[in-house]
Chain A
Amino acid sequence: MIGNDQEVVTRYLRGDTEAVGTVDGWISRAAWPYQRRLADTWDDVLQDVRLEVTRLLGQGKFRGESSLRTYLWRVVSHTCLDQLRARGKRQWTDLEEVDKAGNGGDPNSQSAPARSEDRDLLLRVLGKASSDCRELWRLIVLGLSYREMSLRMGVAEGTLRVRVLRCREKAIALRDELTGGTSSKQRNTPPRKTPIESEG
């Protein structure tokens, strides 16, 4: 029987069979709820978790502020959530040529400021967006085409595209409002037809 958590960590790092079994058991229990959603990559994710645990324990990150079991749960959950989000995250289409034409070469230069923005600000902007706009953009982020969205929502394709554009404009305007920046609507909104005209 292993005594305290520090002893478990020490013996685990030495490769003690009992300590490894104990830690692995705790990891398996904590990771169990994520197994179904990570089914096809489950073994790889579990192995990543073990490697991360070994790395953190080896670097002395576990300081005993909580029990080792709780600490492992945090590591497992954090790692598995990251994996889940990485799977669901749709990568932007590579637009390297377009970005080069725009700013001289750095494809991520335009989005970098947005990524570094305070997440609280982005969540506040999102919180002020309408539920319709959030649903429209959720489907876009999930990877649906405008034709699929049109069929699903029972809206004409032209109307749908205009609605999405309006939501984008509102979100950017809200962000600019919160940050005190210039409204992007004034920057890049071309003259356009009404939604009814667009449907034709």
Chain B
Amino acid sequence: MNCELTIEYLPWLLNGTLEDGETKEVRDHLAGCASCRQALADTRRAWEIFDQHIPAATLVAHAADAAGEDLDGFDPALLEEHLATCAECAAELELVRMSRGLSEDERVALLAPRPPRAPAPQVTARPISTAGNRWRRAAFAAGLAGVIALGGWYKSAERAHTLASRLATAPQPGVPLQAPPPPPIQSAADAERIATLQRQVDEMTKTVGELQAAQSQAREQLAQVEKLGASQSAGGPQLNPWVGDVRMSADVVRGGGSGVKEVPAGSTATLLLAADTTATGDREVEISNAGGKIVWKGSGLRATPQGDYSLLLPKGWLPAGDYTIHLYRQTGGQRVAAESYAIRVK
């Protein structure tokens, strides 16, 4: 190994990390080379320079931060300069400051340091059994047994209670089942509501009965109308026929007042004429054609409770054309014209 390589290896010769072969070669070279031994001395000095740190006493004095504190003769500016560039000294200073803070502030609770681990017991050596140890073991065993017994007793009591409850609610064999208990007594409000509903049901039942009677009557009248229609088709209109449905339809014409009401010629027509309800009594009816010739006369036309006159014109009884229906009433023994209605059969 030459001088150049030897000098390069010197720092690692000092920190002991050269391999064995390298160490031997460097040592052998140093033993015979004064120049390289001088380089070794310089390497040691360099080591000390680069391994230089603030003395511990100075760091502690700096952390004390007391006015006029002597930094052990250390230049404060140099100290600050080194602290700014040396992470190790800065970390140590923080440790010292933390130590001071904990030392002076009793309010900070510290965890107790973990006790050193006890050496593992020898496998072959049994621990010495003393009277105290035996007593403690016996007490522990008794306590454990007590806990187990207490748990068993509790579970047994709980199970017995459950079985007793089930037996109390189960039906007895051979005893007939009793009727279910009556429903609870209704309140006054419920009773009143039930009565109201019952009255409504009764009224609806009565209405249904009346409607059924009216329907039966209507069927009878319809049969009569058909019968009369067939028998009187040559005789002329029928006065006061029963009109069950007052809705407008092809064969029901509402008339009255001014204007001409058209009447279909091909079917039986029922005329509902607006009646003068101020005058009571029957009306005489005259139907005249457009020439004024009376084509039909009748009497006994009565107003319905709804204020209408009903007049049935048989199918095909009037030929197409314009007609006028004249109504007359009797006043003081004299025949007086009351209303008139114009119709057109087409």
- Residue of B with least CB distance to A83: B56
**Which residues of B are found within 8 Å of A93, using beta-carbon distances?**
13-16, 23
In the bound complex, do residue A98 and residue B46 qualify as a contact, i.e. CB atoms below 8 Å apart?
Answer: no
In the bound complex, do residue A97 and residue B27 qualify as a contact, i.e. CB atoms below 8 Å apart?
Answer: yes
A-B contact pairs, 10 of them (CB 8 A): A81-B92, A93-B23, A98-B31, A98-B40, A123-B52, A123-B82, A129-B50, A137-B46, A172-B42, A190-B4
**Which residues of A are found within 8 Å of B116, using beta-carbon distances?**
43
In the bound complex, do residue B8 and residue A77 qualify as a contact, i.e. CB atoms below 8 Å apart?
Answer: no
Q: Which listed segment binds A: B100-108, B120-128, B333-341?
A: B100-108
**Which residues of A are found within 8 Å of B102, using beta-carbon distances?**
29-30, 32-33
In the bound complex, do residue A188 and residue B59 qualify as a contact, i.e. CB atoms below 8 Å apart?
Answer: no
Partner of A126, one of B39, B50, B104, B106: B50
CB distance from B69 to the nearest CB of A (A): 10
Complex interface residues of chain A between 17 and 31 (CB less than 8 A to chain B): 26, 28-31
Q: Which listed segment binds A: B73-81, B203-211, B248-256, B269-277?
A: B73-81
Q: A34-B99, A92-B44 are in contact. Are A120 and B78 (CB under 8 A)?
A: yes
Q: Which listed segment binds B: A2-10, A51-59, A160-168?
A: A160-168
B261 lies within 8 A of chain A by Cβ: no
Complex interface residues of chain B between 56 and 93 (CB less than 8 A to chain A): 56-57, 59-60, 63-64, 74-75, 78, 81-82, 85, 92
Query: What 1/0 flags go to A119-137 for Cβ under 8 Å of B?
Result: 1101111110101011001
Complex interface residues of chain A between 84 and 105 (CB less than 8 A to chain B): 84-85, 89-90, 92-93, 95, 97-98, 101-102
In the bound complex, do residue A175 and residue B27 qualify as a contact, i.e. CB atoms below 8 Å apart?
Answer: no
In the bound complex, do residue A77 and residue B104 qualify as a contact, i.e. CB atoms below 8 Å apart?
Answer: no
CB distance from A13 to the nearest CB of B (A): 21
Interface of chain B: mostly helix, strand, loop or mixed: helix
In the bound complex, do residue A101 and residue B35 qualify as a contact, i.e. CB atoms below 8 Å apart?
Answer: no
Interface of chain A: mostly helix, strand, loop or mixed: helix
B43 lies within 8 A of chain A by Cβ: yes
Q: Besides A30-B100, A33-B98, A77-B56, 19 other CB < 8 A contacts?
A: A29-B103, A33-B102, A35-B113, A43-B116, A85-B56, A90-B15, A93-B15, A95-B13, A97-B27, A102-B34, A120-B74, A126-B50, A127-B78, A127-B81, A134-B50, A141-B50, A143-B16, A145-B18, A187-B35
Give Cα A90–Cα B14 distance, bound, in whole angstroms. Answer: 9
Q: A30-B102, A137-B46, A188-B38 are in contact. Are A168 and B113 (CB under 8 A)?
A: no
- Residue of A with least CB distance to B27: A98
In the bound complex, do residue A171 and residue B50 qualify as a contact, i.e. CB atoms below 8 Å apart?
Answer: yes
**Which residues of A are found within 8 Å of B36, using beta-carbon distances?**
188
- Residue of A with least CB distance to B87: A138
Q: Contact size class for A?
A: 35 or more
**Which residues of B are found within 8 Å of A114, using beta-carbon distances?**
44-45, 48
Query: What 1/0 flags go to A31-47 for Cβ under 8 Å of B?
Result: 11111010000110000
**Which residues of B are found within 8 Å of A184, using beta-carbon distances?**
38, 42, 45
Complex interface residues of chain B between 3 and 24 (CB less than 8 A to chain A): 3-4, 7-9, 11-18, 23
B137 lies within 8 A of chain A by Cβ: no
**Which residues of B are found within 8 Å of A133, using beta-carbon distances?**
50
- Residue of A with least CB distance to B92: A81
B37 lies within 8 A of chain A by Cβ: yes
Give Cα A101–Cα B38 distance, bound, in whole angstroms. Answer: 12
In the bound complex, do residue A111 and residue B3 qualify as a contact, i.e. CB atoms below 8 Å apart?
Answer: no
Give Cα A73–Cα B97 distance, bound, in whole angstroms. Answer: 10
A153 lies within 8 A of chain B by Cβ: no
- Residue of B with least CB distance to A168: B46
In the bound complex, do residue B95 and residue A126 qualify as a contact, i.e. CB atoms below 8 Å apart?
Answer: no
B110 lies within 8 A of chain A by Cβ: yes
CB distance from A128 to the nearest CB of B (A): 10
Give Cα A179–Cα B120 distance, bound, in whole angstroms. Answer: 59
In the bound complex, do residue B50 and residue A138 qualify as a contact, i.e. CB atoms below 8 Å apart?
Answer: yes
Interface centre among B4, B11, B31, B49 (most CB of A within 10 A): B49
In the bound complex, do residue B49 and residue A122 qualify as a contact, i.e. CB atoms below 8 Å apart?
Answer: yes
**Which residues of A are found within 8 Å of B11, using beta-carbon distances?**
137, 140, 164, 168
Give Cα A10–Cα B103 distance, bound, in whole angstroms. Answer: 21
Partner of A82, one of B4, B38, B56, B103: B56
**Which residues of A are found within 8 Å of B50, using beta-carbon distances?**
126, 129, 133-134, 137-138, 140-141, 167, 171
Give Cα A131–Cα B16 distance, bound, in whole angstroms. Answer: 24
In the bound complex, do residue B110 and residue A30 qualify as a contact, i.e. CB atoms below 8 Å apart?
Answer: no
